[in-house]
Amino acid sequence: GQVFRLEDYRPSDYHIPLTDLTFRLSPDSTRVISELTIERRDGISGTPPLVLDGDGLVLKRVELDGKALAPSAYEATPESLVIANPPAGKRFRLLIETEIAPSQNQALMGLYRSNGVYCTQCEAEGFRRITYFLDRPDILSVYTVRIEAKRDEAPLLLANGNPGERGDLGDGRHFAVWHDPFPKPSYLFALVAGDLGLVSDSFVTASGREVALAIYVEHGKERLATYAMDSLKRSMRWDEEVFGREYDLDVFNIVAVSDFNMGAMENKGLNVFNDKYVLADEETATDADFANIEAIIAHEYFHNWTGNRITCRDWFQLCLKEGLTVFRDHEFSADQRSRAVKRIAEVRTLRAHQFPEDQGPLAHPVRPRRYREINNFYTATVYEKGSEVVRMIRTILGADMFRKGMDLYFERHDGDAATIEDFLQVFEDASGRDLSQFALWYHQAGTPNVTVAASHNAASNEFTLEIEQSVPPTPSESRKRLMHIPLAFGLVGQDGKDIAYAAVDGASVEDGVIHLRKRRHVVTFSGVAERPAISLNRGFSAPITLSIEQKPEDLMFLARHDGDAFSRWQAFNTLLTDALIAATRNVLGGKKPAFAKELVELAGIIAGDETLEHAFRALAISLPGEADIARDIGANIDPDAIHAAREALVGAIAETNQSHFKALYEKLGASGSFSPDATSAGRRALRNVLLDYLSILPHGEMLAADHFSAATNMTDRAAALMVLAHRHPKSAEAVNALAAFEEKYRSDALVMDKWFQIQAAMPGQDAVDLVRRLTAHPAFSMANPNRVRSLIGTFASANQTGFHRADGTGYKFFVETVLAVEKRNPQVAARLATALRSWRSLEPGRQAKAREALLAISAAENLSADLRDIVERTLA
Ligand code: HT7
Ligand code: ZN
């Protein structure tokens, strides 16, 4: 396939200042009439050919300046429309009529139907599946859209911008016109037409303008959009208060659809959402679902300024909008909830998804330099590491200077299709600082490692850190340059307080941050009388791995006393990880895993520490997952040994803290009335982690069954079901609970996704047969991305022992399924296939079988560009 390169970027010869679209909607044959005002770019000499992008299009008519174009004057294929000799004048009008079949569109890109609702998804290159266009993000156009449809089939007609004229067409058809005054790229185009229920509200902006808010959902589900609406209003206020950004249209519409390739889409004034991230009540959604809804509603809303008003010059700049918008939604959630707990959750996600990407064959810079399939670059690196890079800019500049830089960005680039260079420049200009070395975070792939050795000289009252940075090689980047790494730190004294030091030598240290720029720094703090415990990378100030020899007693101390909540969590997590790695070694050596008494007792102390938030305690005592342990072991992975080691530690902690945990579990008791707020959710989280521990003890299945039947919300019910299914799969309690859940929720697709997920993650040999059987369940469908991700995606990415079964049957099933999904939806299939990206870390037997599976996919006939790209890079 074709390779696209950053250095090949050229501005287009033509612009499209105005785009007028008419849609005559019909499921099998929709007509799209596009009337474009086209302008030659200043400075272009002659009349270069006009080459418009298409994808699977059928051309019906083409006119130039009101006259039919002679067949010899253009060349149309499904993939392009070329006009060899456009008019010599500066401006001309081109009319293009295409025919498309939304009902046949299973890839869910372009115009398709979800549950009878017409909807669109145009990012990244879906607009070219609707009409021929300069389908690239630097072509900004003002759109006017007229939609015509049968009134009974589609009483609701929506597009971007503000509503205009509407009326009857006779014949049972009607029309509506929408106008979006803000020039936008084609990827932000959207249209929705169907019969949907409405939740409406309004918002008055800081400058006093009233905005009509609407969320459209399936009829009868309006009540379930309450939390989403509340999240939207809080997001709008927050962006005014924290970034000085106001909303700019008269209306803001959100539509929830049940077939969607990703989470949601920020189309100007008309966000389209996967209904999973809109619909929630306590009966059907977990606390995690509520938190996700809040975060994704905010994320898409924040795109209005970071993505829409200022968009990307080309797709290499994707992180310009995505990394920045993730940073903004992280900050929003931190302000709405507990900042410390939010930060820990972010870091866990980054390590679980981005670190394996950065450390495997699919590694790429936050701003990639080449791609074959842009859909495969909506990655954890672009999004999550992209957000970490913005966070580091704030750490380096400080909050005030960062805000000045952001203000300058909005002022200077409003209406632009911008680049990462533009973004970095505003911070340099606002602060006067040089960010050229820092810019490597955008350009260089791989997770930097920082090695630290500490020593204390009691005679001279000096404390010294020897720090070294290295960046491991990644595909096509064997030699790496030195990075600017902002390392937040504290020296913690015996009273638990940070020690003040007199002076520093060897690196620049500002406001508790060591700025590493060289390969090696020897940093000496003077005036340090007692040996401190060193707390490093506080708040996870840089997305790195740290290698530091720390005494277990120092980590124990930091786990109790570090003034930085993130580092306190990290200290205990490091102790748990070290213990689990040692236990895995024991299992592999045929020995029984053993754990330090102090460690298992400390879990009990943290669980009961009333000075800490419940949610923090829940996170702290949750053991690293099997995939986390595998990642930290790094090579020669045997998932069965890891599973056995982890279960042994669960057992050891549960036994030692049995009565304490039981009392705490009782005390936390079932709640009264439900609230999705962070404090209530934290209480439930702690109680459910305690249930997980207690369930491993004798009669644990009975406790879990009681928890299941007493549950008054989905958080508790799903937690109990998971404990039963994973820890006591053969028990009557598990069988009954799974059946009861299925019976109760069989007609609620989003709740059934939880039922699929729980079973897909059941550890052990039997999972593959179970998952295969479940693909025939009436609630499952290979055509729906949410179902596929819940059952197949969970099995492949969250079931270490089941998927990586030593005999390779997990992989065989995976190959069949990925290829079946690919026939309909290449994008979803390609994403599924990334589950094998860490195959080289497996032990040799599994490694060989995983490789065979990847080869089997790559040998399949008519492989899509999406899947081929992932599989070939994974094998390379
Ligand atoms: N910007 C949106 C990305 C997206 C997307 C990309 C490719 C294919 C389908 C898609 N749906 C949404 C989502 C976001 O980051 O806000
Ligand atoms: Zn986004």
> Which one of the ligands is nearest to 830 CA?
1
Going by C-alpha positions, the residue among 245, 227, 249 that lies closest to residue 236 is: 245
| 119, 121, 123, 383: residue to mutate for ligand 1 pocket, most atoms within 8 A of CB | 123
**Å from CA of 370 to ligand 1 middle:** 19
Task: State if residue 322 touches ligand 1 by the CB under 6 angstroms criterion.
Answer: yes
Task: Clarify whether 300 is annotated catalytic.
Answer: yes
Token reading at 505: 């030598």
Would 716 be classed as within a structural domain? no
**Å from CA of 320 to ligand 2 middle:** 10
Which helix (H) or strand (E) covers residue 192, if one does? strand 191-194
Question: Each residue of 223-271: pLDDT tens digit?
Answer: 999 999 999 999 999 999 999 999 999 999 999 999 999 999 999 999 9
For ligand 1, atom 10, the nearest C-alpha belongs to 262
Helix (H, G, I), strand (E, B) or coil at 113: strand
**Å from CA of 293 to ligand 1 middle:** 16
Question: Does residue 665 come out as left (phi exceeding 0), alpha (psi in the -120 to 50 range) or beta?
Answer: alpha
Task: State if residue 378 touches ligand 1 by the CB under 6 angstroms criterion.
Answer: yes
- Enumerate residues 6+ apart whose C-beta is below 8 A from 722: 758, 761
- Note the pLDDT of residue 190: 99
Which helix (H) or strand (E) covers residue 556, if one does? helix 552-561
Query: What spatial distance separates the first Cα and last Cα of the chain, rounded to whole Å?
Result: 16
Helix (H, G, I), strand (E, B) or coil at 612: coil
Which atom in ligand 1 lies closest to the alpha carbon of residue 303?
16
Helix (H, G, I), strand (E, B) or coil at 808: coil
Task: State if residue 469 touches ligand 1 by the CB under 6 angstroms criterion.
Answer: no
Question: Each residue of 638-683: pLDDT tens digit?
Answer: 999 999 999 999 999 999 999 999 999 999 996 679 999 999 999 9
Q: In this structure, how many other beta carbons lie within 10 angstroms of the beta carbon of residue 670?
A: 12
**Measured at the alpha carbon of residue 618, what is the angle toward residues 615 and 619, in degrees to the nearest 5?**
90
Give the Cα separation of 402 and 408 in Å (integer). 10
Whether ipTM exceeds 0.85: yes
Q: In this structure, how many other beta carbons lie within 10 angstroms of the beta carbon of residue 433?
A: 15
Which atom in ligand 1 lies closest to the alpha carbon of residue 383?
15
Q: What is the 3-state secondary structure (H, E, C) of 559-607?
A: HHHCCCHHHHHHHHHHHHHHHHHHHHHHHHCCCCCCCCHHHHHHHHHHH
Question: Each residue of 777-819: pLDDT tens digit?
Answer: 999 999 999 999 999 999 999 999 999 999 999 999 999 999 9
Domain that holds residue 36: 14-195
Task: State if residue 373 touches ligand 1 by the CB under 6 angstroms criterion.
Answer: no
Report the share of the chain in percent with pLDDT over 90.
99
| 265, 266, 381, 382: residue to mutate for ligand 1 pocket, most atoms within 8 A of CB | 265
For ligand 1, atom 6, the nearest C-alpha belongs to 123
- Note the pLDDT of residue 672: 77
Task: State if residue 375 touches ligand 1 by the CB under 6 angstroms criterion.
Answer: yes
**Measured at the alpha carbon of residue 573, what is the angle toward residues 567 and 577, in degrees to the nearest 5?**
145
Cβ atoms 116, 127 nearer than 8 A: no
Going by C-alpha positions, the residue among 764, 772, 765 that lies closest to residue 756 is: 772
Would 712 be classed as within a structural domain? no
**Which position among 148, 294, 300, 613 bears the catalytic label?**
300
Give the Cα separation of 762 and 759 in Å (integer). 5
Phi, psi (degrees; rounded to nearest 5) at 377: -110, 15
Give the Cα separation of 599 and 608 in Å (integer). 15
Would 578 be classed as within a structural domain? no
Going by C-alpha positions, the residue among 59, 91, 64 that lies closest to residue 76 is: 59
Cα diameter, the chain: 95
Would 442 be classed as within a structural domain? no
Which atom in ligand 1 lies closest to the alpha carbon of residue 374?
7
Cβ atoms 220, 241 nearer than 8 A: no
Going by C-alpha positions, the residue among 347, 344, 324, 375 that lies closest to residue 125 is: 375
Calculate the alpha carbon distances from 538 to 189, 445, 567, 769 in Å: 42, 23, 5, 45
| CATH number of the domain within which 173 lies | 2.60.40.1730
Token reading at 698: 């004798």
**Å from CA of 264 to ligand 1 middle:** 6
Which atom in ligand 1 lies closest to the alpha carbon of residue 260?
11
Going by C-alpha positions, the residue among 494, 491, 493 that lies closest to residue 504 is: 491
pLDDT confidence tier of residue 748, bands split at 50, 70 and 90:
very high
- Say yes or no to pLDDT of 506 above 90: no
Question: Each residue of 597-632: pLDDT tens digit?
Answer: 999 999 999 999 999 999 999 999 999 999 999 999
Token reading at 727: 């820890």
Token reading at 868: 């081929």
- Note the pLDDT of residue 290: 98
**Å from CA of 611 to ligand 2 middle:** 36
For ligand 1, atom 13, the nearest C-alpha belongs to 265
**Å from CA of 124 to ligand 1 middle:** 7
Single residue among 160, 179, 195 that ends a domain in this structure: 195
Going by C-alpha positions, the residue among 336, 148, 117 that lies closest to residue 221 is: 117
**Å from CA of 307 to ligand 2 middle:** 8
Task: State if residue 261 touches ligand 1 by the CB under 6 angstroms criterion.
Answer: yes
Task: State if residue 554 touches ligand 1 by the CB under 6 angstroms criterion.
Answer: no
**Measured at the alpha carbon of residue 833, what is the angle toward residues 829 and 836, in degrees to the nearest 5?**
170
| 105, 257, 270, 378: residue to mutate for ligand 1 pocket, most atoms within 8 A of CB | 378
- Prediction pTM value: 0.99
| 184, 262, 831: residue to mutate for ligand 1 pocket, most atoms within 8 A of CB | 262
Question: Each residue of 106-124: pLDDT tens digit?
Answer: 999 999 999 999 999 999 9
DSSP H helices, 657-698, are 658-668, 678-694
The single-letter code of the amino acid at 772 is R
Total of domains in the chain: 2
pLDDT confidence tier of residue 505, bands split at 50, 70 and 90:
confident
- Note the pLDDT of residue 121: 99
- Enumerate residues 6+ apart whose C-beta is below 8 A from 507: 467, 514, 515, 516, 517, 521, 523
- Say yes or no to pLDDT of 192 above 70: yes
| CATH number of the domain within which 824 lies | 1.25.50.10
Give the Cα separation of 6 and 2 in Å (integer). 13
Q: In this structure, how many other beta carbons lie within 10 angstroms of the beta carbon of residue 452?
A: 21
Residues comprising the chain, all counted: 876
Phi, psi (degrees; rounded to nearest 5) at 268: -55, 115
**Measured at the alpha carbon of residue 722, what is the angle toward residues 745 and 732, in degrees to the nearest 5?**
80
- Say yes or no to pLDDT of 503 above 90: no
Single residue among 195, 212, 242 that ends a domain in this structure: 195
Task: State if residue 562 touches ligand 1 by the CB under 6 angstroms criterion.
Answer: no
Question: Does residue 322 come out as left (phi exceeding 0), alpha (psi in the -120 to 50 range) or beta?
Answer: alpha
Give the Cα separation of 7 and 570 in Å (integer). 41
Give the Cα separation of 171 and 648 in Å (integer). 71
Task: State if residue 265 touches ligand 1 by the CB under 6 angstroms criterion.
Answer: yes
Single residue among 156, 179, 195 that ends a domain in this structure: 195
Would 220 be classed as within a structural domain? no
For ligand 1, atom 3, the nearest C-alpha belongs to 265
Which atom in ligand 1 lies closest to the alpha carbon of residue 326?
15
Helix (H, G, I), strand (E, B) or coil at 428: helix
Q: List, edge to edge, every strand of the sheet that includes 513-516.
A: 508-510, 513-516, 485-492, 533-536
Task: State if residue 262 touches ligand 1 by the CB under 6 angstroms criterion.
Answer: yes
Report the share of the chain in percent with pLDDT over 70.
100
For ligand 1, atom 15, the nearest C-alpha belongs to 322
**Å from CA of 865 to ligand 2 middle:** 23
Would 61 be classed as within a structural domain? yes
Question: Each residue of 811-867: pLDDT tens digit?
Answer: 999 999 999 999 999 999 999 999 999 999 999 999 999 999 999 999 999 999 999
- The overall average pLDDT reported for the chain is 98
Which atom in ligand 1 lies closest to the alpha carbon of residue 300?
16
Would 88 be classed as within a structural domain? yes
Task: State if residue 272 touches ligand 1 by the CB under 6 angstroms criterion.
Answer: no
Token reading at 194: 């169907």
- Note the pLDDT of residue 1: 81
- Enumerate residues 6+ apart whose C-beta is below 8 A from 526: 460, 461, 462, 501, 502, 503, 504, 505
Are β-strands 80-83 and 50-53 bridged in parallel, bridged antiparallel, or unpaired? antiparallel
Would 148 be classed as within a structural domain? yes
- Note the pLDDT of residue 604: 98
Q: Is 502 exposed, middle or buried (0-12, 13-18, 19+ CB in 10 A)?
A: exposed
Which atom in ligand 1 lies closest to the alpha carbon of residue 126?
8
Which residue reads 């669980």 in tokens?
607
Give the Cα separation of 177 and 684 in Å (integer). 48
Calculate the alpha carbon distances from 673 to 225, 282, 379, 670, 679 in Å: 19, 10, 39, 10, 13
Name the percent of the chain in helix, strand, coil, to the closest 5: 45, 25, 30
- Note the pLDDT of residue 671: 65
Helix (H, G, I), strand (E, B) or coil at 519: coil
